[in-house]
């Protein structure tokens, strides 16, 4: 079989409503109103007048079109704006201008709108298109044709040279301009071979409606589709499929199942329908009549059904004007209504014309009544049901014929004339039963004697339904399930009736155990050791962040399928120990709500506590030495609010880096020794309790300078001519699309380590004649595509800590909507297309053993917040490189794995709100031009391979 290849012309072939690589996309990152980079320009082969223009959109069609502009050869143009298209059908524009079209421009709203195909259709008999010739198809056969191959311009041929017992293989090739294309995949055939779609159902086919379309009841594989039933008038006729469930008629094939049409037997059962035995049309204008064939086996269709032809054999009568229809019925019927089915003829006028139908009934007693005339203006009225008032009938009698008068047969075609009769409202039979002193059976529709001898003779065998009991009255039995059981339709009782020795109704009854849904108790884990059936008991236990209030920690499944109301519940609490971990003073804690049951250990949800920080600590949310904080117990058992952090002194200026050494960083009591260049005496400064230094970090203006940075392979520097202390050099990566970064590690309070990549824009000259950050510690990483971060689609280029793990798009616990979507899953099989965010619930649950996803996310945010508060900015003086950064490495992926078994890696502290709800943004697939898809496929695979290799090297 030949493979699909890219092409700029041809029929639509992209997958419907899918981000297909077979459709055109603009090769840009965004669209603007200045350039035409989001405009698809097309020119017809022949510049001529067009009747219509059809456009197939494969993806993001609904709001993806800015305008469609039609340019004519005289320089004028027409513009279509505010267009709304669908991805499963073409957008067709009718063109009214008689000017010749030179070009068509389609402007998309964003680079994620893909266009599959565009079709130009000219007016019929256009002389400019007379030189255009249709494609010629060459059909090859094995064994071959006597002439070698058959040539045709049609889509089918008739092969009359086949023989029995021989299998033939066919293939097709297209010939244009004397050049023959590739052969199609071959197909085999032998004499009398059954083919799905030929309109004749064989033994191995469930149906065959003569086409290969899905959704019409008979699938393209000739299998009856769900909720459809298919019938054939004869062995040579195609299958007719219709939806049977819910039509109110209990058909024979439904009685053995669980169809709702047969479940209930009552006096309000569906009406009986009677079809005419003979119908003919008569024209008073032409004084002629014509026989009509109205189908009586196919179900009546509803709604709009448009046909191109009129009354078939009787079209001549219909074209002349008004006609009359006469329908005779073989059996005598007492109808309650008449049903008229019709179809609309393809209109030629711009406005529909009202059609009037006159109806009259002819009875057996030779009386005739006329019903109210019916007006038809819309095909939505199909079918038309007209009630027959029995008060119009002088004496009760059966109907034998129906007469219709159609005023405008050029607009509508009568397809069915049906008489309906409700058994429960058969007045004639009721009158007969009363005269004979008998009962009227509304189910059977006939009179029965009061002692019911015939029913006793033709009695039914009782149904064997375990776990049930039954009560019978006359011919009706009611079956009732025992306690704890119910029927399949969730009913406790079912009614069946015995008629002529057979049960009518659903006879496949089974009493099933009552089952309650899986119980869910807030903030608790439920255990059901025996299942969830009737009388089963389930116990529950509060989670770690909740406390049980009450004693009865179990629920029981009741007869109604619901659980009993639990007499205990789980209250979310925050622990007293959790407060002390925030570095606050124990004696200063003041909470508004009392502790639960005076346990001295827990506080309920929404408790507000105020406290002071411990000695030598300050509130993390304040820059000053503010020590008072306010904490709230959240809905997941965690304290929300600021923490208390050690008081520190401000960092010395960058120019002093390398000239001092401190005993305990910048915390209170730390002593720093300062060595100014050119001075033998050393100075000392101590961090005081108020967060200030005992002595200023200051040296006399040094006469030293920094040497120009050496040339590096991947990083380039832009510096002033004289590099005195305090001057800066701009830093950037030589390769476009990469950022210069500095690697650093930080330790969390939990002992886990973070690898942090900080973007560096410049380096500073210090008084020690060195640069900060150190030049050898700089490396380059690929820049993030910020437009695609947090847009709901997982982009492997952004699935790094440096890019916030694509804004959370690659993990189900962090992506908006909870479902990870990949643009091209078949091309993205690397680890970069998986959930590798170490802070995501999927990975946190594995590494830390935490079971609650809400607790995981809460802890995750808490860790990030604490890290941000404790870390220094990029200008921090004490930073020690912990990993060798090779200048040849352009992409850092070390953040994608753990530095050690229990370490967490994050190469950039993310925006705290990245996992909150975001506004929806349109995004479908990468914006690439169809001409470059082959190269893109290969580049994507190469990039994934490169990232994987660098990933492994870093680990």
pLDDT tens-place string over residues 229-278: 899 888 788 998 988 877 667 777 776 555 666 654 444 445 678 888 88
User: What ranges in 623-709 are assigned the alpha helix state H?
Assistant: none
Task: Indicate the SS3 state at residue 152.
Answer: strand
Classify residue 34: in a domain, yes or no: no
For residue 444, which phi and psi values (nearest 5 degrees)?
A: -75, -30
Does the pLDDT at position 482 exceed 80?
yes
Note whether 818 and 910 are same-domain residues. yes
Q: Tell which residue, 806, 834, 803, 801, has the closest CA to residue 905.
A: 801
Classify residue 696: in a domain, yes or no: no
Radius of gyration of the chain (CA): 42
**What mean pLDDT do residues 822-830 have?**
71
Classify residue 673: in a domain, yes or no: no
Amino acid 505: pLDDT? 76
| pLDDT tens digit sequence for 399-444 | 889 999 888 887 788 888 888 876 555 666 666 776 777 766 655 5
933 DSSP 8-state letter: H
Classify residue 630: in a domain, yes or no: yes
Note whether 792 and 907 are same-domain residues. yes
Return all residues near 366 (Cβ < 8 A) that are at least 6 apart.
none
Q: Which of 143-157, 693-707, 709-723 has the lowest mean pLDDT?
A: 693-707
For residue 318, which phi and psi values (nearest 5 degrees)?
A: -70, -35
pLDDT band of residue 686 (cuts 50, 70, 90) is very high
Q: Which of 427-431, 582-586, 670-674, 757-761 has the lowest mean pLDDT?
A: 427-431
* Whole-number Å distance between alpha carbons of 753 and 601: 31
Amino acid 594: pLDDT? 59
Tokens of 136: 């010629």
Classify residue 296: in a domain, yes or no: yes
Q: Which helix (H) or strand (E) holds 351?
A: none
Amino acid 911: pLDDT? 33
Return all residues near 394 (Cβ < 8 A) that are at least 6 apart.
367
Q: How many C-beta atoms surround the C-beta of residue 81 within 10 A?
A: 10
Note whether 799 and 910 are same-domain residues. yes
Amino acid 268: pLDDT? 42
Note whether 299 and 377 are same-domain residues. yes
pLDDT band of residue 332 (cuts 50, 70, 90) is confident
Identify which has the larger pLDDT, 309 or 898.
309
Final residue of a domain: which of 514, 539, 567? 567
Amino acid 853: pLDDT? 43
Residue 351 exposure: Cα atoms within 13 Å on the Cβ side: 2
Note whether 415 and 287 are same-domain residues. yes
Q: Which of 4-8, 257-261, 511-515 has the lowest mean pLDDT?
A: 4-8
Note whether 282 and 387 are same-domain residues. yes
Task: Indicate the SS3 state at residue 656.
Answer: helix
Amino acid 99: pLDDT? 92
Measured CA distances, 669 to 590, 663, 813 (Å): 30, 9, 44
pTM for the full predicted model: 0.42
Please say whether the beta carbons of 335 and 389 come within 8 A.
no
Does the pLDDT at position 878 exceed 50?
no
- In this structure, are strands 306-307 and 337-345 parallel, antiparallel, or unpaired? parallel
* Whole-number Å distance between alpha carbons of 796 and 808: 12
Please say whether the beta carbons of 572 and 607 come within 8 A.
no
Return all residues near 545 (Cβ < 8 A) that are at least 6 apart.
523, 572, 573, 574, 636, 637, 638, 852, 855
Amino acid 672: pLDDT? 92
Does the pLDDT at position 845 exceed 50?
no
Q: Which of 6-15, 352-361, 404-413 has the lowest mean pLDDT?
A: 6-15
Classify residue 57: in a domain, yes or no: no
> Does the bond joining 143 to the residue before it have cis omega, within 30 degrees of 0?
yes
Averaged confidence pLDDT in the chain: 77
* Whole-number Å distance between alpha carbons of 26 and 107: 10
Note whether 812 and 867 are same-domain residues. yes
Please say whether the beta carbons of 361 and 325 come within 8 A.
no
| pLDDT tens digit sequence for 526-537 | 999 999 988 899
Note whether 558 and 601 are same-domain residues. no
- In this structure, are strands 50-59 and 39-42 parallel, antiparallel, or unpaired? unpaired
pLDDT band of residue 296 (cuts 50, 70, 90) is low
Please say whether the beta carbons of 821 and 844 come within 8 A.
no
Return all residues near 13 (Cβ < 8 A) that are at least 6 apart.
4, 22, 116, 117
Note whether 166 and 278 are same-domain residues. no
Classify residue 825: in a domain, yes or no: yes
| pLDDT tens digit sequence for 611-623 | 999 888 889 888 7
> Does the bond joining 586 to the residue before it have cis omega, within 30 degrees of 0?
no
Classify residue 305: in a domain, yes or no: yes
What pairs with residue 441 in β-bridges?
Answer: 446
What is the domain extent for residue 549?
524-567
Does the pLDDT at position 893 exceed 60?
no
Residue 15 exposure: Cα atoms within 13 Å on the Cβ side: 5
Amino acid 396: pLDDT? 65
**What percent of the chain shows pLDDT beyond 70?**
77
**What mean pLDDT do residues 537-545 have?**
91
Please say whether the beta carbons of 519 and 444 come within 8 A.
no
Place of tokens 């109103």: 33
In 592-749, beta strands by DSSP E: 602-604, 608-612, 617-619, 628-633, 639-640, 644-646, 660-662, 671-674, 683-686, 715-718, 728-733, 738-747
Final residue of a domain: which of 567, 598, 625? 567
Amino acid 424: pLDDT? 56
Give the domain CATH number at 622: 2.10.70
**What mean pLDDT do residues 788-801 have?**
86
Note whether 794 and 865 are same-domain residues. yes
Please say whether the beta carbons of 545 and 568 come within 8 A.
no
CB neighbour burial string for 3-21, b if at least 16 within 10 angstroms, e if fewer: eeeeeeeeebebeeeebbb
Q: Tell which residue, 155, 159, 213, 161, has the closest CA to residue 184.
A: 155
**What mean pLDDT do residues 347-366 have?**
74
Return all residues near 837 (Cβ < 8 A) that are at least 6 apart.
801, 805, 808, 810, 811, 814, 843
Q: Which helix (H) or strand (E) holds 99?
A: none
Note whether 913 and 801 are same-domain residues. yes
Note whether 535 and 641 are same-domain residues. no
| pLDDT tens digit sequence for 562-578 | 899 998 999 888 888 88
pLDDT band of residue 311 (cuts 50, 70, 90) is confident
| pLDDT tens digit sequence for 96-129 | 888 999 999 999 988 888 899 999 998 888 888 7
Give the domain CATH number at 309: 2.60.120
Final residue of a domain: which of 190, 224, 259? 190
Does the pLDDT at position 78 exceed 90?
yes
Domains: count for the chain = 5
Q: Tell which residue, 246, 286, 284, has the closest CA to residue 262.
A: 246
Q: Which helix (H) or strand (E) holds 263?
A: helix 260-263
SS3 content of the chain, % helix, strand, coil (to 5): 15, 30, 55
End-to-end CA distance of the chain: 44
Torsion of CA 119, 120, 122, 128, to 10 degrees: -130
Return all residues near 455 (Cβ < 8 A) that are at least 6 apart.
448, 474, 475, 498
**What mean pLDDT do residues 211-215 have?**
79
Measured CA distances, 514 to 218, 264, 579 (Å): 37, 22, 48
**What mean pLDDT do residues 641-650 have?**
89
**How far from chain centre, in Å, is Cα 763?**
49
Does the pLDDT at position 501 exceed 60?
yes
């Amino acid at each position: 079989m030949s493979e699909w290849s890219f092409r700029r012309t041809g029929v639509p072939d992209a997958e419907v409503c899918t981000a297909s690589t077979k459709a055109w996309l603009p090769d840009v990152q965004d669209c603007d109103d200045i350039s035409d980079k989001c405009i698809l320009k097309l020119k017809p082969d022949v510049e001529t007048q067009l009747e219509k223009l059809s456009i197939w959109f494969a993806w993001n069609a609904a709001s993806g079109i800015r305008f469609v502009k039609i340019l004519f050869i005289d320089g004028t143009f027409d513009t279509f704006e505010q267009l709304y298209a669908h991805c499963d059908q073409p957008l067709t524009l009718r063109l009214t201008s008689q000017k010749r079209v030179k070009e068509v421009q389609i402007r998309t709203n964003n680079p994620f709108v893909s266009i599959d195909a565009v079709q130009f259709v000219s007016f019929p008999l256009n002389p400019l298109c007379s030189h255009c010739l249709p494609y010629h198809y060459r059909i090859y056969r094995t064994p071959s044709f006597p002439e070698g191959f058959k040539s045709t311009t049609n889509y089918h041929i008739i092969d009359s040279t086949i023989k029995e017992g021989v299998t033939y293989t066919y293939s097709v090739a297209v010939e244009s301009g004397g050049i023959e294309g590739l052969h199609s995949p071959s197909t085999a055939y032998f004499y009398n071979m059954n083919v799905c779609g030929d309109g004749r159902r064989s033994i191995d086919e469930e149906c065959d409606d003569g086409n290969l379309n899905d959704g019409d009841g008979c699938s393209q594989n000739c299998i009856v589709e769900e909720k459809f039933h298919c019938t054939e008038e004869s062995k040579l006729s195609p299958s007719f499929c219709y939806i049977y469930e819910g039509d109110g008629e209990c058909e024979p094939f439904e009685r053995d199942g669980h169809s709702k049409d047969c479940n209930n037997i009552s006096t309000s059962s569906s009406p009986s329908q009677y079809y005419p035995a003979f119908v003919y049309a008569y024209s008073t204008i032409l004084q002629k009549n014509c026989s009509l064939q109205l189908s009586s086996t196919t179900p009546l269709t509803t709604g709009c059904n448009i046909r191109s032809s009129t009354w078939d054999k009787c079209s001549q009568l219909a074209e002349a004007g008004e006609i009359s229809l006469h329908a005779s019925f073989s059996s005598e019927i007492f109808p309650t209504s008449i049903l008229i089915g019709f179809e609309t003829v393809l209109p030629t006028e711009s406005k529909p014309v009202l059609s009037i139908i006159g109806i009259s009934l002819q009875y057996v007693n030779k009386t005739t009544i006329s019903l109210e005339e019916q007006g038809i203006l819309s095909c939505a009225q199909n079918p038309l049901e007209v009630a027959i008032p029995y008060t119009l009938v002088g004496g009760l009698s059966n109907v034998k014929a129906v007469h219709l008068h159609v005023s405008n047969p050029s607009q509508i075609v009568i397809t069915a004339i049906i008489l309906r009769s409700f058994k429960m409202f058969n007045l004639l039979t009721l009158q007969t039963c009363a005269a004979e002193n008998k009962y009227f059976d509304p189910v059977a529709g006939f009179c029965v004697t009061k002692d019911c001898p015939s029913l006793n003779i033709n009695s039914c065998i009782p149904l064997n339904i375990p776990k049930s009991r039954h009560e019978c009255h006359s011919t009706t039995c009611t079956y009732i399930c025992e306690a704890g059981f119910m029927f399949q339709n969730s009913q406790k009782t079912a009614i069946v009736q015995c008629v002529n020795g057979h049960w009518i109704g659903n006879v496949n009854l089974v009493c099933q155990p009552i089952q309650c849904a899986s119980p869910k108790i807030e903030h608790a884990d439920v255990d059901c050791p025996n299942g969830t059936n009737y009388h089963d008991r389930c116990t529950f236990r509060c989670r770690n962040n909740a406390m049980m209030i009450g004693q009865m920690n179990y629920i029981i499944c009741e007869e109604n399928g619901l659980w009993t109301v639990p007499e205990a519940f789980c209250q979310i609490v925050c622990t007293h120990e959790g407060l002390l971990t925030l570095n606050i003073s124990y004696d200063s804690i003041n909470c508004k709500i009392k502790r639960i049951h005076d346990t001295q250990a827990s506080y309920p949800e929404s408790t507000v506590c105020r406290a002071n920080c411990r000695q030598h600590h300050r509130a993390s949310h304040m820059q000053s030495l503010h020590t008072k904080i306010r904490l709230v117990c959240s809905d997941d058992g965690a304290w929300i609010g600021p923490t208390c952090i050690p008081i520190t002194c401000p960092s010395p200026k960058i120019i002093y880096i390398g000239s001092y050494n401190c005993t305990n960083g910048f915390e209170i009591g730390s002593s720093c020794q300062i060595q100014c260049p050119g001075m033998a005496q050393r100075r000392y400064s101590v961090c005081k309790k108020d967060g200030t230094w005992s002595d200023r970090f200051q040296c006399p203006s040094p006469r030293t300078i920094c040497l120009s940075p050496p040339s590096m392979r991947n990083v380039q520097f832009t510096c002033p001519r004289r590099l005195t202390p305090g001057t800066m050099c701009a830093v950037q990566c030589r390769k476009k699309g990469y950022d210069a970064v500095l690697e650093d590690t930080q330790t969390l309070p939990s002992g886990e380590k973070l690898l942090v990549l900080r973007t560096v824009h410049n380096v500073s000259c210090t008084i020690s004649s060195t640069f900060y950050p150190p030049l050898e510690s700089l490396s380059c990483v690929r820049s993030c595509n910020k437009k695609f971060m947090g847009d709901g689609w997982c982009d492997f280029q952004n699935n790094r800590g440096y890019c916030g793990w694509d804004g959370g798009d690659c993990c189900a616990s962090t992506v908006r909507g909870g479902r990870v979507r990949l643009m091209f899953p078949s091309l993205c099989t690397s680890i970069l297309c998986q959930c590798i965010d170490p802070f995501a619930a999927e990975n946190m649950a594995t590494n830390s053993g935490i079971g609650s996803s809400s607790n995981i996310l809460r802890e995750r945010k808490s860790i990030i917040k604490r890290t941000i508060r404790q870390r220094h900015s990029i200008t921090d003086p004490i930073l020690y490189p912990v990993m060798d950064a090779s200048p040849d490495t352009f992409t850092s992926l070390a953040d994608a794995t753990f530095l050690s078994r229990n370490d967490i890696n994050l190469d950039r502290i993310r925006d705290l709100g990245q996992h909150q709800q975001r506004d929806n943004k349109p995004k479908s697939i990468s914006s690439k031009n169809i001409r470059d898809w082959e190269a893109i496929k290969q580049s994507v695979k190469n990039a994934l391979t490169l990232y994987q290799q660098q990933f492994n090297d870093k680990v």
